[in-house]
Structure 1
Amino acid sequence: MKVKQSRIKWRWGVENIKNRSIRAYLLLESLITLALLSVLVGTVLTEITRSRTQENIENQQIEALSVARMAVDSQMSSLSLNGATIKVVHSPTKIFISNHGEELLELERED
């Protein structure tokens, strides 16, 4: 009987080690999956933020060009509208258009 008991105890010990090993592998896989998911989510959020920033810059440029067109069409030397401050400078051959001191356009006149 002692031999049977020792085999049974040994067998239970092996099963216990196997269960612990399986749990450890599951925990390791879970941690790796969580790390990968975190990296993917971080990358997606970073790209979304970058895309929105780029879109805001482009919208501001579009707005500035629209205001500049209004200023040129109405022959005004300066116009402030929707956050854009447009100044139009006429020279004999060119028209310079700037927004907040930065040059937007330089147009040549056709006469």
Structure 2
Amino acid sequence: MLIKAKLSSPESDAIDRKALIQQFNHLNHMNPDSFEPQDLDMLIRAATKDLENFDKERHDEFKRYEMMKEHERREYLKTLNEEQKKEEEARYEEMKKKHKDHPKINHPVSR
């Protein structure tokens, strides 16, 4: 597969071979003819690692989003006078309370 990619690419020097090889790091390169239990174990480990990385990226992205939202809210509050700030803070606290005390999701009835 690496050879095909190299031959099909006009800029063969521009291929990131390390990234391409890492796509197949779950394979046992010493035994390319069969799929052994060892290969399955390596595949499970690679999939678990990928999922953990994906979860971490999503968590970091959400954290950045929440920080940006809070920053924008604080900047908006700076533009208001004292009375408007109090109203906005009360609305914000009410919204936080509403989100915290939302109705619970219905669970299926157990039989």
TM bracket, shorter-chain basis: 0.3 to 0.5
TM-score (norm 1): 0.44
Looking at secondary structure, tell me which structure has more helix per residue: 2
